């Protein structure tokens, strides 16, 4: 079965970037990165989630962190040149990005936003990010991902609170 062509997939193909798609069954009640990682058979530490945030100076941005980490808002503010950053309300995510919760990716968004990827991603030969819809992940080299979304690397993740 051929996977649907998402804007993310089209972008990667147009740039000639190598990637692998993995489809999985979606549980709308559980969109966690842990569940996605288990369903695609990929380590949680290499399965990255994309969060949408807004800085007081730079505006909307996308923060990409490991599925087993939490976003460090102070570190994100420092990396983006803002005094203060907060995640945007869920109701704003789709109008801003064109993607629904559980399918948000920095690849092929409606509008281009600054993308900051946690530097931890560089430790791996491949990472997994959403391919732009629930039930579809794209696996690729972190350097290729950063190139595709014009990302900067920064230490923006912290351990999840227990």
Q: What's the domain count of the chain?
A: 1
Separation CA 155–CA 33 (nearest Å): 19
In a domain? residue 81: yes
CATH number at residue 88: 3.90.960.10
86 domain residue, yes or no: yes
- Amino acid 110: pLDDT: 85
In a domain, 1, yes or no: no
In a domain, 16, yes or no: no
Q: Measured between alpha carbons, how far apart are the two ends of the chain, in Å? A: 40
pLDDT score at 162: 52
Q: What is the pTM of this model?
A: 0.94
**Cα–Cα distance list, 77 to 57, 59, 86, 105, 116 (Å):** 9, 11, 9, 20, 11
Mean pLDDT of 38-44: 96
**Mean pLDDT across the stretch 62-88?**
97
Within-domain flag for 17:
no
Q: Which residue has the higher pLDDT, 162 or 87?
A: 87
Q: Rounded mean pLDDT of 120-129? A: 97
Segment 109-121 shows an average pLDDT of: 95
Per the CB < 8 A criterion, the answer to whether 125 and 141 are in contact is yes
Q: What is the pLDDT of residue 15?
A: 97
The stretch 105-116 carries a mean pLDDT of 94
pLDDT per position as a tens digit, 139-162: 999 999 999 999 999 999 999 875
What span, in angstroms and rounded, lies between the C-alpha atoms of 48 and 117? 9
Q: Does 149 map to a domain?
A: yes
Q: Is residue 69 situated within a structural domain?
A: yes
151 or 5, which is more confident: 151
In a domain, 117, yes or no: yes
- The domain of 147 spans 23-159
């Amino acid at each position: 079965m051929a996977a649907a062509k998402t804007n993310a997939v089209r972008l990667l193909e147009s740039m000639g970037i190598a990637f692998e798609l993995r489809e999985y069954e979606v549980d709308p009640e559980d969109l966690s990165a842990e569940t996605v990682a288990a369903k695609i058979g990929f380590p949680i530490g290499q399965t990255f989630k994309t969060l949408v945030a807004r800085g007081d100076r730079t505006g909307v941005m996308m923060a990409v962190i490991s599925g087993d980490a939490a976003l460090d808002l102070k570190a994100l503010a420092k990396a983006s040149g803002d005094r203060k950053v907060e995640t945007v309300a869920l109701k704003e995510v789709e109008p801003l990005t064109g993607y629904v919760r559980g399918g948000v990716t920095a690849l092929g968004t409606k509008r281009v936003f600054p993308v900051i990827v946690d530097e931890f991603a560089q430790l791996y030969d491949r990472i997994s990010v959403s391919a732009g819809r629930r039930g579809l992940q794209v696996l690729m080299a972190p350097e290729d991902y950063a190139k595709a979304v014009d990302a900067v690397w920064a230490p923006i993740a912290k351990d999840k609170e227990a």
